[in-house]
Amino acid sequence: MSLTYHLQIVNLLAALLLLISFAMLSQRRIAGLITLFAWQGAALTASTALVAWSTGQHHLYYSAAITLVLKVIAMPWYFFRIVKKLDVDRDVEPMINIPTTMLIGIVLVIFAFNLALPISELSGTVMRSTLGIALACVLLAFLMMITRRKAIPQVIGFLAMENGLFFAATSTSYGMPLVVELGVALDVMVAVFVLSIFFFQIRETFDSLDLKHMEKLKER
Amino acid sequence: MEIYWLLGIPLTGGVFLALWGCRKHAPEINALFSLATLLAAAWLTHRIIDQGPMMVGAGWFFIDSFNVFLVALTAFVAFTTALFSRPYMRIEAEHGKLNAQRLRLYHSSYQIFIGAMLLALTTNNMGILWVAMEAATLATVLLVSLYRTPASLEAAWKYFILCGVGIALALFGTILLYFAAEKILGSGGTALLWTHLNGVKAQLEPTVLSLAFVFLLVGYGTKVGLAPLHSWLPDAHAEGPTPVSAVLSGLLLNVALYAVMRSKVLVDGALGNDLAGNLMMGFGLFSVVLAAFLIKRQTDVKRMFAYSSIEHMGLITFAFGMGGAVANFAALLHMTMHSLTKSAIFFAVGHATQKAGTQLMADIRGLIQTNPTIGWGLMLGTVAILGVPPFGVFASEFLIITTAMHEHPWATPFLLLALGVAFASIFGKVQPMVFGETELPKLPYQPALAPVFLHLGLVLMLGLFIPPYLADWYRQAAQLLGG
């Protein structure tokens, strides 16, 4: 297979990533959100592995493996377990104005492409055009964190943002040095662990995972 | 060799206390580990003074006069805070605010937090610097929510989410930095090493680096508490246990600013203009002014001093932004003074709130009648942080303001106004707390005030006389940061 053919698949996967980001933005159910997060991880793994194969950057195989284990298998499984334990799997978030959120999302994507343009022109990698998509994923995840009122979706937004950053690193410079990537993966793992302890604390104190109870600390 | 001791001791301490931290003597063990860390730091400092900057461990760690000064400060304040927390946390436990398990979490996280900060300071790799900063945040999230009150949970959640987003932006900045570096240094682990980057900084792509710096400044700036990204800081300081407020304010903010400064040196070299400095001056000045006016409205004593931290970090950022030998010198001096003074204040405030059973300033009165040492500690600390001579804060603030008058006269009125407002509001609020009338009983135990007076003594000494080797040391570090 030629490099252009690979490139088309990578671009396709990048488009898929963006699509999943939008889907996450509009997903009301927590279980659905976790599934989408797992799919996003899968798309990320596939694209990283493909880039590794077509360019011969072997350390990217390790990154792909870490992504697969952490973000496709371990974290979704862990989240499903927490959701079951906390008994919030049937929770539906009453989000108003999903269309408005989507419109803001589209504006963010345009902004991201504009921001990425000067950088991707400088980049020498085969997939430089996907930097815009990576940045868009980061911003969409950011938007998701802002619009959500519940604890678990906010954390999934945080992790989706990390996915976008990971994709950005792959598309600009074939990933970060391996030791940094390992460190980042370790931090993300610890973060999820700490936050799951936190979910139980919040639940114990407020009797729900709704963050609307947590708006007392304001500047008066 | 020293460096492995320095990083190994707190991490071992974290693991040890996680396993055995529920024992009766855990607070003493915590203090012992901190003392050992301090000794390792002193050993390292001694070697750097003797032999100059050095790389350790095949380039993984890089120690020069800039970070060794922060390593020494961090280890010192970490030790005195451990001394203060020994009786303080015990009494909190007796008051039923904590149980043995939470104390274990506290001690273990405390050591890991210190270890993560020391790693952030000593590493040569900009990527590992990011990892260590994130680790330091994660170690403190559960400390902020230690009391499990609704307010503390909210504060911890806000702390995590805001700093998490901030630090994600810093990661993007690091990715951009790597992207620019990899073109020149080739891909692989060495392209993020600060010493390598520093060697080729003039060749790095300016467009990419200016964008990278914006992300790094906003990202790490969230942790420095620069306005308008500061809103986690007062909550986390007010709701967490007092020793945690002391180390957050005295140490973590410094370490985050250290990360910004390391990036600034690279960006200045690549850009050859004042973009980075101007951005820092803008953020710094805005923080100083905003925090000064918000101090006026506070009713909670720890919140008020948290805002005062934002004000001082803003002032330091402003001074670093101005650049040049004198401003950098002043900023480094102010970093030291602020760390020592602010942690001393939090120690005194900790005992005062424990005595009154509340953090509301209106309910804390007449400390000097019942517990004169706490009263004097708080009063002297406040006077010191407000920049009254002969304390050291006066010297550094004076240097910063005279440099500003000389180089950026437009900024001086704002600085003077902000410092004046902060002076009036803080002094006006602390004065009745110390000298007012009270019916509250005396504290039933001996407060741990040795660290307070030790810190204030150092601040006083440095205000009157800076030993020549220390001045040389600051000068070298200031030179290194360039301008």
Q: Which of B61, B172, B204, B211 to mutate to test the interface with A (most CBs of A within 10 A)?
A: B172
> Does the distance separating the beta carbons of B160 and A195 come in below 8 Å?
yes
**pLDDT for the residue numbered A27:** 85
- Cβ atoms of A36 and A19 within 8 Å: the answer is no
Q: For B130-177, how does the pLDDT look when each residue is reduced to its tens digit (9 = 90+)?
A: 999 999 999 999 899 998 888 999 999 999 989 988 989 999 999 999
Task: Tell me if residue A184 falls in helix, strand or coil.
Answer: helix
- Domain ranges for chain A, please list them: 3-213
Q: Which of A58, A171, A173 to mutate to test the interface with B (most CBs of B within 10 A)?
A: A173
Tell me how crowded residue B418 is: count the other CB atoms within 10 A of its CB: 22
Residue with tokens 């493996």, as numbered in its chain = A65
**Is A200 near chain B, with CB under 8 Å?**
no
Q: For B323-346, how does the pLDDT look when each residue is reduced to its tens digit (9 = 90+)?
A: 888 999 999 999 999 999 999 999
Q: Which of A119, A183, A187 sits opposite B138 (nearest CB)?
A: A187
* Burial grade of B366 (CB within 10 A; 0-12, 13-18, 19 or more): middle
> Does the distance separating the beta carbons of A158 and B131 come in below 8 Å?
no
Give me the residues of chain B with pLDDT under 70, please.
188-189, 483
Write out residues 13-72 of B within 8 Å (CB-CB) of A.
Answer: none
Dihedral sign, Cα of residue B93, residue B96, residue B97, residue B100: positive
**pLDDT for the residue numbered A78:** 93
**pLDDT for the residue numbered B472:** 87
Chain B residues in contact with A165 by the CB 8 A cut-off are 168, 171-172, 175
> Does the distance separating the beta carbons of B128 and A183 come in below 8 Å?
yes
Give me the residues of chain A with pLDDT under 70, please.
1-3, 90-92, 94-96, 124-127, 218-220
Dihedral sign, Cα of residue B210, residue B213, residue B215, residue B218: negative
Radius of gyration of chain A (CA): 18
Distances (CA, A) of A31 to A77, A93, A147, B294, B316: 11, 11, 18, 42, 47
Q: Which of B149, B157, B179 sits opposite A173 (nearest CB)?
A: B179
Token readout for B446 is: 């001996």
For residue A137, give the nearest of A22, A27, A51, A60 by alpha carbon: A22
**pLDDT for the residue numbered A211:** 77
Cβ partners under 8 Å of residue B129, min gap 6? B120, B123, B259, B262
ipTM value:
0.92
Radius of gyration of chain B (CA): 21
* Burial grade of B1 (CB within 10 A; 0-12, 13-18, 19 or more): exposed
Q: For B49-101, how does the pLDDT look when each residue is reduced to its tens digit (9 = 90+)?
A: 888 888 887 888 999 888 898 999 999 999 999 999 988 988 888 888 888 88
- Cβ atoms of B390 and B464 within 8 Å: the answer is yes
Residue with tokens 């269309």, as numbered in its chain = A99
- CA of residue B48 relative to chain centroid, distance: 22
What is the spatial distance between Cα B223 and Cα B133, in angstroms, rounded to a whole number?
A: 9
**pLDDT for the residue numbered B426:** 95
Q: Which of B147, B175, B361 to mutate to test the interface with A (most CBs of A within 10 A)?
A: B175
What is the spatial distance between Cα A75 and Cα A176, in angstroms, rounded to a whole number?
A: 22
DSSP per-residue letters across B186-239: -SSGGGGBHHHHHHTGGGS-HHHHHHHHHHHHHHHHHHHT-TTS-THHHHHHHH
What is the spatial distance between Cα B118 and Cα B255, in angstroms, rounded to a whole number?
A: 9
Chain A residues in contact with B138 by the CB 8 A cut-off are 187, 190-191, 194
**Is B148 near chain A, with CB under 8 Å?**
yes
What is the spatial distance between Cα B159 and Cα B144, in angstroms, rounded to a whole number?
A: 9
pTM here is 0.94
**Is B135 near chain A, with CB under 8 Å?**
yes
> Does the distance separating the beta carbons of B134 and A187 come in below 8 Å?
yes
- Of how many residues is chain B composed? 483
**pLDDT for the residue numbered A95:** 66
**pLDDT for the residue numbered B96:** 84
Cα within 13 Å of Cα(B152), Cβ side: 20
Alpha-helical regions (H) of B21-64: 26-51
Token readout for B327 is: 């401003």
**pLDDT for the residue numbered B483:** 60
What is the spatial distance between Cα B60 and Cα B181, in angstroms, rounded to a whole number?
A: 17
Chain B residues in contact with A202 by the CB 8 A cut-off are 153, 157
Task: State the smallest CA–CA distance between residue A5 and chain B in angstroms.
Answer: 25
* Burial grade of A99 (CB within 10 A; 0-12, 13-18, 19 or more): exposed
> Does the distance separating the beta carbons of A201 and B145 come in below 8 Å?
yes
Q: Which of B182, B190, B297, B298 to mutate to test the interface with A (most CBs of A within 10 A)?
A: B182
Q: Which of A177, A184, A214 sits opposite B157 (nearest CB)?
A: A214
